[in-house]
Amino acid sequence: MKKTYAVIGYPVSHSISPAIHQQALNALEIDASYVPFEITCANQAAAFSGLKALGIDGFNITAPYKEAIIPYLDELADSAKLAQAVNTVKKTDTGYVGYNTDGDGFIASLKEDFKALTLETRFLIIGAGGAAKGILEAMKAQGYNNITITNRTLATAENLAELLNCQSMDLETAQANLADFDCIVQTTSVGMDASSEALPIELTGLRADTFVSDLIYNPQETAFLKAAGSNPKQNGLGMLIYQAALAFEIWTGKWPDIDLMYNTANEKGFKKC
């Protein structure tokens, strides 16, 4: 019986998940379709229930629903429990189970691009929402403990830092101490508007060897990455590919062709920074 997988969020018109997943499914001769569902906030409750009623076999979740989906699920895997955010859902015999592959996907992409990465690397994480929770849970689980969280609302950063045993810092202090960090990770939605020059934090005072990562992959180079100048850096394409591969494995039990996924993204006009 043909299976159906999906991505849900608002907006999802920019998403390349349908293309990369469909190519991976086709390459492994899996009889399945992967489709996008754009869901407005006003309709989220009906939409979440509708996906379950339709028997969708699995779906990815993007902003702004990574936390909002949780009450509608029947079970959470450990990765989602710890992060309290879900980006992958699988239909099982006992109901719908939520997972979070963002964190492990991010770390896989970081290992691919940041050659100086060690467990002693000093991280500054900008943002304290669902995306930040996902990557922080995985970072802590893999032994990365030198982490500071900063956020526009300091109390939110403080709460997340306490939950995950990290440090927290207000934006002004973080900006004044950028030279203390080896890797800066931008997890907010600031920069998704290609016409905007807004920055979540100014990068003046950045060390020349500090690695700069932005989880956004579209546009290819956000204002934040442009501000990083000639520093080593990455956009979110690698994270997207690896989190997708991990989700694909959860659904199908098979590991997809990573190079094919990258090539599909490239053909759609999306490339690494």
Q: Cis ω on the peptide bond leading into residue 11 (within 30° of 0)?
A: yes
Angle CA 92–93–94, to nearest 5? 90
Tell me the C-alpha distance between 113 and 241, whole Å: 13
| 81 carries an active-site annotation | no
Tell me the C-alpha distance between 194 and 269, whole Å: 15
Tell me the C-alpha distance between 271 and 220, whole Å: 6
Pairing of strands 75-76, 95-99: parallel
Neighbours of 8 (CB within 10 A): 23
Q: Which of 66, 133, 233, 272 is catalytic?
A: 66
Which residue's entry shows tokens 């922080």?
A: 136
Q: Cis ω on the peptide bond leading into residue 64 (within 30° of 0)?
A: yes
Active-site positions?
Answer: 66
